[in-house]
Amino acid sequence: MEARLSPIHTFVWEHRADDPADLALQARKYPGLQMPYIASQVAAYQKIKHKIPEWYRPGLAFPFPLSLEQASSEASARFKASLFSGAHSLDLTGGLGVDSYFLSQRFKIHSYVEQNHELLVVTAQNFGRLEASNVHFAREGAEAFLENTEDTFNLIYLDPARRDAKGGRVAGLEDCAPNVLELLPRMLELAQDILLKASPMLDIQQALRQLGEGVQRVYVVAYEEECKEVLFHIGRQKPDHLMVHAVTLQADGQVVHCFEGPIETSANAPKVEFGLGQYLYEPNVAIRKAGFFNTFAQRYGLKKIQANTHLYCADELLPDIPGRSFVIEAICSYDKKAIAPYCPEGKANIAAKNFPDDVAAIRKKSGLKDGGNRYLFAVTDAAGKKVILVCKKAGPTSLAAD
């Protein structure tokens, strides 16, 4: 039987579409309620509706805005859970519990570990509302739990905090808490598989050197045109082949597109001088982060503009490429007078690829505002010249476009 809602939960749910800032100022109108807290919960629900739609139901609580900000989206959590199943899984960095919730649906028993007592209590209450009844809760730090546990697991998952003591963002594995590099030997004693969530800013090659030969697979995960996370699946044995997957997700966690292969080392893409292709292609964000620059060109028969300019040309429109496609209308010099005739509205969408000036500098020099239907790519061509490609969209290329 579902527990009855408290007055605060009822009020929050009834006002979930209201402006949180207005609610925070209505203490006199509702003298018996903690309006600042209620406003924060309404704001959380407005984020949850899009980020974790399965949790958009009455009776849940979200006391820490940072934990919601750092939590996985439902799409990425569902994807991670889809990779594994078994008897017992462990989340060493429980947090808000989004990943734990979806992992618990794939394992008979799931253990959630969190050292923040208040966050653990609220998460346990939320899981009760969500009817996640196979989850065991432990209030401990990851290090202490691993040292003291006598259990073994099919999967250990962890998402280390990526902020320093001053609250600044960090990306390196050694800078996160807990330090996965220190915990890895013990985790591999207890589990056959480890899944590590890392920052999308992480240097993948550096992380592979740090994590050792047990890395089985790397997943670069993109959702809503943004690279959200990099996942490392680590096992006890060296794999025959380390595979990298550039994955783009839809809202339900299903894969829209997966581009996979070994770490790119020696694949060489053909280069092209401008004028030999009518269409310009930019691979999606997951492919770019995974480093599939030359493999991408080879797979689709494209010609690369320049070794370090990760844009590609072709004479024909290829509608199913995972990325964006453009028609090249003109190639002009990096000069305001040369660019202006192609942007009569004084607007353009600007990107810089292997170019000495950033977008802000280009915008200042050209005098163009953001927007419009022209796309300007400031690039270095095969001859080393700095030029501007004037383009318009060639139409939808794929569901994975970014």
pLDDT digits (tens, 9 = 90+) for 47-81: 999 999 999 999 999 989 989 999 999 999 999 99
Could you check whether the bond before residue 178 is cis, i.e. omega within 30 degrees of 0? yes
Residues of the domain holding 23: 7-62
Helix (H) or strand (E) holding 195: strand 191-198
- Please indicate, yes or no, if residue 399 is contained in any of the structural domains: no
- Residues 45 and 194 both lie in one domain: no
User: Among residues 217, 235, 262, which one ends one of the domains?
Assistant: 262
CATH of the domain at 90: 3.40.50.150
Those residues with Cβ within 8 angstroms of residue 240's Cβ, 6 or more apart along the chain or in another chain:
none
* 89 and 40, same domain (yes or no): no
> Which DSSP helix (H) or strand (E) runs through 331?
strand 323-333
Return the minimum-mean-pLDDT range out of 78-82, 166-170, 373-377.
166-170
**Residue 271 placed within a domain:** no
DSSP category for residue 187:
H
Same domain, 328 and 224: no
Residue 264's alpha-carbon distances to 139, 213, 240, 288, 376, in angstroms, are: 42, 17, 16, 12, 28
pLDDT at 396 exceeding the cut of 60: no
Same domain, 236 and 93: yes
Contacts of 11 (CB under 8 A, 6+ apart): 30, 33, 38
Same domain assignment for residues 193 and 166: yes
Cα–Cα nearest to 322, from 375, 270, 271, 259: 259
Q: How many domains is the chain partitioned into structurally? A: 3
Would residue 343 count as lying in a domain? yes
Q: Is residue 196 part of a domain?
A: yes
**End residue of a domain, out of 45, 62, 79:** 62
Is residue 84 a contact partner of residue 92, using CB atoms and an 8 Å limit? Answer: no
Question: Does residue 334 sit within a domain?
Answer: yes
Instruction: Categorize the per-residue pLDDT at 291 as very low, low, confident or very high, splitting at 50, 70 and 90.
Output: very high
Within 10 Å of residue 155's Cβ, how many Cβ atoms?
A: 25
- Indicate if the pLDDT at residue 279 is higher than 70: yes
Whether residues 40 and 123 share a domain: the answer is no
In a domain, 175, yes or no: yes
* Shared-domain flag, residues 128 and 234: yes
Residue 273 is assigned to a structural domain of this protein = no
Cβ atoms within 10 Å of 402's Cβ, excluding its own? 19
Distance separating alpha carbons of residues 224 and 285, to the nearest angstrom? 10
Sign of the four-CA dihedral 353, 357, 360, 364: negative
pLDDT, tens digit, 9 for 90 and up, residues 198-236: 999 999 999 999 999 999 999 999 998 899 999 999 999
Could you tell me if 221 and 294 lie in one domain?
no
